[in-house]
Structure 1
């Protein structure tokens, strides 16, 4: 199996040292950045499999950086910060972060959460493995380009976060099935996610706002009293 590549964006040298040492000992490839701008440069050069992101960076907000990483670069993000406020945690998740760890932390917990995200990604990939088509079309105007992890509408690229993209693709590949909010939360965020099922509603609303044409036919259909399912016909 290919070694997983992790980028750590953290301005505290002592944390970079101990985390970097521990992660390399566990078999990960680790690059480090002490600022948001340096982290973005590393992202462009290295294209890591996961980012450990400190919220309190000297040159930019970790929230702004998380939004950019999840929308433009589509990489899993674990936020690491001294802030313990639940509002900050949920905001980070809604911006696209996959997990949130509060300082001080146990190194073993960080490693366990990293491995959990990689396992979840593998499970999602396996669940999509039977789909042989690299391009999926929905209705007459939506196109999902799986190889590029992109969604297009009438020839224009739609900027979805990685979680919005994963949610849409999951419903597409299970297009005959209705999922409850709890099922979607568990499959795409994990059972230990600190938010609640409203997170699913928010992501569905954002997908609709970005993708729906306003003709009354939504890409994700609400099944009242149950949950959600794909709302468009799949074409290949």
Structure 2
């Protein structure tokens, strides 16, 4: 049974999330305090963690950032803060996804299943025969099996979604993908209007692979259309 930690100080919302996830086969732990929630998250193994932003003790931003520095597991923010700046900050902190309150329990379930299933496919491979080719473009080397990225022979650390997005674009060079298409391919669901999610992840990838992120050479922005990986660097 997959285990989920919910760090949420609104008792009604926390219990709604827990009860709905319990009904669908998940084991759920609740914690209302930010500091205690972070301690529990780091001391135990969970398949996914849901974090509110406004918490006593620590903010959700701080919790997500601290967990991401130690663990590579799906992190989902659910918050009443619905401004783009909050979503961008949450994703920049290391969250894989961001939902706003009020939310549909059915949508929550879909997103939880999607993130856990993708994590299991990526990190719990049992066959050693499924060797994937290493990608080399310009000064970038990406090994999908070890999930390592090197820029000019220096390893750079990427989150799950950053890595998946970069590999997908590198596998399909010179093809323009819209934000909605990328969200569907990487997050595995319709974007629900969350186009900022893709833009934030592209920005974060550029900061890690581009010599000058404001004048990118690898990932082009095709205004009004989407993004394209340039193989002729």
Shared fold per TM-score greater than 0.5 = yes
Q: 1:40 to 1:150 in 2, by over 3 A?
A: farther
CA contact (8 A) 1:89 1:194 kept: no
Give ranges in structure 2 of 5+ residues lacking alignment.
123-128
State the TM-score, normalized to the length of structure 1: 0.71
Structure 1, gaps ≥5 residues long: 126-130
Q: Is 1:230 aligned with 2:229?
A: yes
* Equivalences, count: 223
> Could you tell me how far 1:191 is from its partner in structure 2?
1.9
Q: 2:63 aligns with which of 57, 62, 65?
A: 65
Following superposition of structure 1 onto structure 2, how do residues 21-32 of structure 1 map, counting pairs within 5 Å? 21-32=19-30
Preserved CA contact (<8 Å) 1:220 1:232: no
1:140-219 alignment runs, 5 A limit: 141-147=139-145, 149-175=147-173, 177-189=175-187, 190-196=189-195, 199-213=197-211, 218-219=217-218
* 1:60-105 alpha-carbon deviations (Å, 9 max, x no partner): 22123334445653332322233344543454345434131314x5
Work out the CA distance in 1 between the residues paired with 2:3 and 2:21.
10
* TM-score, structure 2 as length reference: 0.71
Cα distance in 2 for residues equivalent to 1:66 and 1:49: 15
Relative distance call for 1:11 and 1:181 in structure 2 (3 A) is closer
> Which moved further from structure 2: 29-38 or 139-148?
139-148
**In 2 relative to 1, CA 223–83 (structure 1 residues): closer, same or farther, beyond 3 Å?**
closer
